[in-house]
């Protein structure tokens, strides 16, 4: 008799926290709305910290579902709380909302024609990284979970985040500001989950990576001060342009000769150079900006030290002075190993065993990493590549030709819904 009682106690948590049998049908019914929401959001993108209409669109939907909704979080973010009908953990699900200053080039009926202001200039705006799909998926998750509220174990916090691509100069924003404002508190979140659409991954597939999955992102600003002179008399100058050219070459030795690349990748890229006003004048100053990507915390610190040394000493060798400013935009996105293992059944159920893959780390970055600095988190990838093209042919993120299908966005909805129940089940057993 005792053995029977013990056995029943062991299986009860799984029974109590089992996903309702009608969940898949509800997801199927909600899916057309997800596509509709995605296409609307795609047509009307907004830049970082300017997602006011997007936030209104999201908040209106969440309020109609009867959720506790807070707006104006981290400037334009939206947070909603769904309290389930059964006791259980508190978890957070995150979707980012902002677009990019990119002009869309395609013939889609719902392509963006929006314009906005960026760094003092009027620019076109596009969802060139798929954040529109993230928002639509999460709106769908909120509707599905709201319809089965009585069966949900615990509490789900929905985090609709602004400014993942980085706030405008001089402003705070993004995940770091949401955390600073307390979105992981009251009630305290145990674990956080997010996804990113991927244009090169087959539509409907899910990819994951345990441990370091995406790189840290630093912005580096270099100001070189030289001596101005006539372009015909360069010996009278301390040329910041020539010095800058030498610095660009020298900093690559930090990657090729000072970084242990068998341990983890390192990338240093200069993407912006500003200097000079006339062809025959050697300017006094040159400013360069770029990005640093690392996937190991110790290497992250070492690269900063090495870059400062190489840049300042190269400038000194030319008689110039270099000032170096490095700002961390996002830490390494690190998927907790144990937590990843715990939710893999949920991802497999959503995508199918043959469409769930473990991938290599990437040097792209995500400020989702701020959410899991103090609590465990998992960030995974959902495929959006049409079957008619190969991964090599897929248009890259952050480009005018970026495109992802929305025919399998329901897989993302299923993944998050499954995670809610899978996490609660495993947490209860623990």
Provide the token pair at 387.
Answer: 């079957």
Are the C-beta atoms of residues 79 and 183 closer than 8 Å to each other? yes
Residue 428 has pLDDT above 80, yes or no: no
Looking at the DSSP bridge assignments, the partners of residue 355 are none
- pLDDT at residue 7, rounded to an integer: 42
Domains and CATH numbers, the chain: 2-214+331-429 (3.40.630.10), 227-319 (3.30.70.360)
What percentage of the chain's residues is helix, strand, coil (to nearest 5)? 35, 30, 35
Residue 177 has pLDDT above 70, yes or no: yes
Residue 11 has pLDDT above 70, yes or no: no
- pLDDT at residue 202, rounded to an integer: 98
Rounded CA gap, 222 and 318, in Å?
15
- pLDDT at residue 10, rounded to an integer: 44
Are the C-beta atoms of residues 427 and 190 closer than 8 Å to each other? yes
> What is the sign of the dihedral through the CA atoms of 325, 372, 412 and 41?
negative
Residue partners of 349: CB distance under 8 A and separation at least 6: 414, 418
The tens digit of pLDDT for each residue in 62-121 reads 999 999 999 999 999 999 999 999 999 999 999 999 999 999 999 999 999 999 999 899
- pLDDT at residue 221, rounded to an integer: 98
Measured CA to CA in angstroms, residue 290 lies from 98, 167, 213, 255, 304 at distances of 21, 16, 22, 14, 13
The percentage of residues in the chain with a pLDDT greater than 90, rounded to a whole number, is 94
Output the average pLDDT for the chain: 95
Neighbours of 388 (CB within 10 A): 7
- pLDDT at residue 6, rounded to an integer: 41
Neighbours of 111 (CB within 10 A): 17
What is the mean pLDDT of the segment spanning 122-127? Answer: 98
Looking at the DSSP bridge assignments, the partners of residue 79 are 70, 159
Pairing of strands 266-274, 153-161: unpaired
Residue 429 has pLDDT above 80, yes or no: no
What is the mean pLDDT of the segment spanning 295-312? Answer: 97
What is the mean pLDDT of the segment spanning 373-382? Answer: 97
Residue partners of 107: CB distance under 8 A and separation at least 6: none
What is the mean pLDDT of the segment spanning 188-215? Answer: 98
pTM: 0.92
Instruction: End-to-end CA distance of the chain: give it in Å, rounded.
Output: 24
The tens digit of pLDDT for each residue in 235-273 reads 999 999 999 999 999 999 999 999 999 999 999 999 999
């Amino acid at each position: 008799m005792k053995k029977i009682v013990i056995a029943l106690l062991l299986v009860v948590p799984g029974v109590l926290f089992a996903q309702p049998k009608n969940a898949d049908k509800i997801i199927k019914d909600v899916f057309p709305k997800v596509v509709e929401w995605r296409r609307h959001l795609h047509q009307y993108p907004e830049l970082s910290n300017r997602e006011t209409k997007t936030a209104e669109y999201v908040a209106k939907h969440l309020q109609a579902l009867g959720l506790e909704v807070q707006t104006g979080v981290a400037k334009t973010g939206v947070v909603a709380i769904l309290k389930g009908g059964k006791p259980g953990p508190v978890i957070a699900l995150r979707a980012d909302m902002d677009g990019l200053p990119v002009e869309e080039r395609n013939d889609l009926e719902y392509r963006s024609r929006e314009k906005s202001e960026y760094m003092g200039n009027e620019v076109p705006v596009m969802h060139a990284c798929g954040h529109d799909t993230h928002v639509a998926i999460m709106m769908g998750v909120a509707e599905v979970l709201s319809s089965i509220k009585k069966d949900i174990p615990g509490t789900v916090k929905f985090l609709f985040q602004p400014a993942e691509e980085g706030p405008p100069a001089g402003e705070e924003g993004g995940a770091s500001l949401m955390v600073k404002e307390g979105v992981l508190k009251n009630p305290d979140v145990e674990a956080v989950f997010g996804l990113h659409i991927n244009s090169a991954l087959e539509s409907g597939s899910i990819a994951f990576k345990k441990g370091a999955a995406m790189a840290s992102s630093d912005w580096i600003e270099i100001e070189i001060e030289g001596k101005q002179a006539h372009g015909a008399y360069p010996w009278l100058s301390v040329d910041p342009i020539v010095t800058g050219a030498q610095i660009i070459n020298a900093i690559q030795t930090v990657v090729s000769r000072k970084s242990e690349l068998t341990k983890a990748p390192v990338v240093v890229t200069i993407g912006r150079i500003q200097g000079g006003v006339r062809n025959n004048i050697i300017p006094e100053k040159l400013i360069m900006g770029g990005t640093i990507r690392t996937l190991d915390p110790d290497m992250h610190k070492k690269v900063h030290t090495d870059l400062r040394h190489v840049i300042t000493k190269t400038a000194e060798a030319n008689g110039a002075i270099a000032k170096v400013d490095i700002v961390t935009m996002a830490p390494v996105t690190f998927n907790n190993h144990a937590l990843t293992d715990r939710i893999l059944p949920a991802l497999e159920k959503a995508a199918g065993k043959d469409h769930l893959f473990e991938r290599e780390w990437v040097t792209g970055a995500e400020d989702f990493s701020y959410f899991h600095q103090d609590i465990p988190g998992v960030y995974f990838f959902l495929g959006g590549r049409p079957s008619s093209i190969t991964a090599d042919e897929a248009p890259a993120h952050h480009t005018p030709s970026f495109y992802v299908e929305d025919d399998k966005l329901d897989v993302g909805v299923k993944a998050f819904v499954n995670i809610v129940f899978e996490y609660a089940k495993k947490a209860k057993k623990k």
